[in-house]
Amino acid sequence: MSAPTHAHAPALPLAGGPTAAELLTFALDTAANSRIIDSLPLDPEGRTWIRLDGPAGSEAWLIGWPPGTGTGWHDHAESRGAFATARGRLTEHSLAVRLPSEGWRSLELAEGVDRRRSLGAGAGRAFGEHHVHEVLNESPAEHAISVHAYYPPLPLIRRYSRSGPVLRLEHVERPADWQ
């Protein structure tokens, strides 16, 4: 078993609330708590989730990922966040570029902005605001479970489609769409 990996948290926190590093610590600690992880009902057909109390007013979620499921490309708007894998393995594809937060519907991405991370049980990742990524359980047979935390609580999620280098804003979800 390899040692857990931790991504470096963004250096400049938003005013107030927990830093991305603190959100990552919460996600890793919660992912290691078998009582909490075992409380999540798993569905073989779709993702399941339970809302958790995050630190210092943050929003947190325990998420179950059946084999072959994922989020699609999205961001968390002005929220910073972190996630940690409790069971299984998740893959994150992300963009190493800051996109404009508004005023566009389609962008052509430059070469070399794609990043890929594989996060097994005990591994986590923190990120800053406007972080565009997708998270996948690429396993053909094993469920994955993860813990996610965001601050400020998610004001919205922007969903994107991707075709080669072209990223398109498809729609915006508000909290009422997922709570």
Which pLDDT band, with edges at 50, 70 and 90, does 16 fall under?
Answer: confident
Q: Which DSSP string corresponds to the chain?
A: -PPP-BPPPPSSPPSSS--HHHHHHHHHHHHT-HHHHHTS---SSS-EEEEEE-GGG-EEEEEEE-TT-B--EEE-TT-EEEEEEEESEEEEEEESSPPPSSS-SEEEPPTT-EEEEEEETT-EEEE-TT--EEEE---SS--EEEEEEEESPPS-EEEEEEETTEEEEEEEE-GGGT-
Q: Name which residue leads in pLDDT, 133 or 6.
A: 133
Q: What is the per-residue pLDDT for 8?
A: 35
- pLDDT tens digit sequence for 29-61: 999 999 999 999 999 999 999 999 999 999 999
Which pLDDT band, with edges at 50, 70 and 90, does 1 fall under?
Answer: very low
Q: Is the pLDDT of residue 157 over 70?
A: yes
- Average pLDDT on 82-105 reads 91
Sheet with 157-163, side-by-side order of all strands:
106-108, 166-173, 157-163, 73-75, 133-136, 89-95, 114-120
Q: Name which residue leads in pLDDT, 174 or 65.
A: 65
Which pLDDT band, with edges at 50, 70 and 90, does 177 fall under?
Answer: confident
- pLDDT tens digit sequence for 122-154: 999 999 998 999 999 999 999 999 999 999 999
Q: Is the pLDDT of residue 13 over 60?
A: no
Domain boundaries, the chain: 20-98+113-177
Name the region of 66 (left: φ>0; alpha: ψ -120 to 50; beta: rest). Answer: beta
Superfamily of domain 20-98+113-177: Jelly Rolls (2.60.120.10)
Which pTM does this prediction carry? 0.87
